[in-house]
Amino acid sequence: MSITFLGLGNMGTAIVRTWLKAGYAPTVWNRTPAKAEALAAEGATAAPTAAAAVEAADLVVVCLLDDATVTRVLADLDLASKGVLNLTTSTPGQARAHAERHPGARFLDGGVMATPPMIGTPGAVILYSGDRDVFDRHADPLRVLAAADYLGDDPGHASLYDIALLSGMYGMFAGVAHALAMVRAQGGVDLDEFGGRLVRWITAMTAVARNDDPAATIEMQAANIPTFEGASRELGVSSELLAPYFELMRRGAAQGQDDLAGLLIRG
């Protein structure tokens, strides 16, 4: 099975290096050739153009800056009968559109739930959806990179999970930034100790959220919003990151609606 890799940024380079260490020898191409030449010195084959790189490939892996770049790079390639794995972050609709634009190719989409240094380590996960046969045929090299979870034949499903998981992460990070601003503004707090406590607290509350605790009503929680706003004011900390969520809680409380995710769904 010959693998070609297009796009040797931070993520692409980490993936190719992990494969090289595991004994795979992919063909690589990058817009800036120096990155491909560096990997050639470690055992990869550097191709002068993307078209030359994909010629002999069974599997073409793409990991570029964004979806527009993927569309441009793939537009010039003959992908007939090839497996194509797109690891570039995209929307579910964009992932499906690539499959529709290249009907002769067999598309698998991937959502990388890891940073480059995590590739090849136990914490890394890559989510896949799309062509099952492409996933099965290349399961061995894919499992070298990360735990490989196949989510079904809709090419947009891995992107849905990817973006939804990242959305949860960023929402969480907003709360973490606010919490850290509060204790830093106060001063004299051991930030390492506080950080550990914050992680344990969030983990415990995630479990509570899954159990749908009937005693933690939105009405009760919304009644505490002035206390959060007051504490932030006392400390001179902006509540801007929490304001939209407080607004949603107030709306839920006014409507007697505990399902806040339901309130966000339009139409």
Residue ranges that bind ligand NDP, judged by CB under 6 A: 7-12, 30-32, 35, 63-65, 69, 73, 88-89, 112, 115-116
| Residues whose CB falls within 8 Å of the CB of residue 155, separated by 6 or more in sequence, listed in order | 95, 96, 98, 99, 107, 108, 109, 129, 130, 131
Classify the phi-psi angles of 194: left when phi > 0, otherwise alpha if psi is within -120 to 50, otherwise beta: alpha
Nearest to 31 by CA among 69, 86, 84: 69
Which residue lies nearer to ligand NDP by CB, 115 or 238?
Answer: 115
CB of 182 to ligand NDP, least distance (A): 28
DSSP H helices in the chain: 10-21, 33-40, 50-54, 67-75, 92-101, 132-137, 139-145, 157-186, 191-211, 218-222, 225-235, 243-255, 260-264
If the CB atoms of residues 36 and 249 are measured against ligand NDP, the closer one turns out to be 36
Considering the complex, what minimum distance in angstroms separates the CB of residue 11 from ligand NDP?
3
- Smallest gap, in angstroms, from Cβ of residue 116 to ligand NDP? 5
CB of residue 159 vs ligand NDP: minimum separation in angstroms?
A: 11
Provide the residue type at 56 as one letter: A
Give whichever of 32 and 203 is closer to ligand NDP, judged by the CB atom: 32
Q: Would you give the DSSP letter of residue 85?
A: E
Are the C-beta atoms of residues 133 and 110 closer than 8 Å to each other? Answer: no
Nearer to ligand NDP, 32 or 211 (CB): 32
CB of 12 to ligand NDP, least distance (A): 5
- Cβ closest to ligand NDP, residue 12 vs residue 83: 12
Q: Which residue is nearest to ligand NDP (CB)?
A: 9
Q: Which is nearer to ligand NDP, 14 or 105 (CB)?
A: 14
Least spacing, CB of residue 179 vs ligand NDP, in Å: 24
DSSP line for 2-65: -EEEE--SHHHHHHHHHHHHTT---EEE-SSHHHHHHHHTTT-EE-SSHHHHHTT-SEEEE--S
Q: Which residues pair with 147 in a beta bridge?
A: 125
Q: Which residue number, 7 or 141, has a Cβ lying nearer to ligand NDP?
A: 7
**Whose CA is closest to 82, among 51, 107, 114, 65?**
107
Minimal distance, residue 33 CB to ligand NDP, in Å: 8
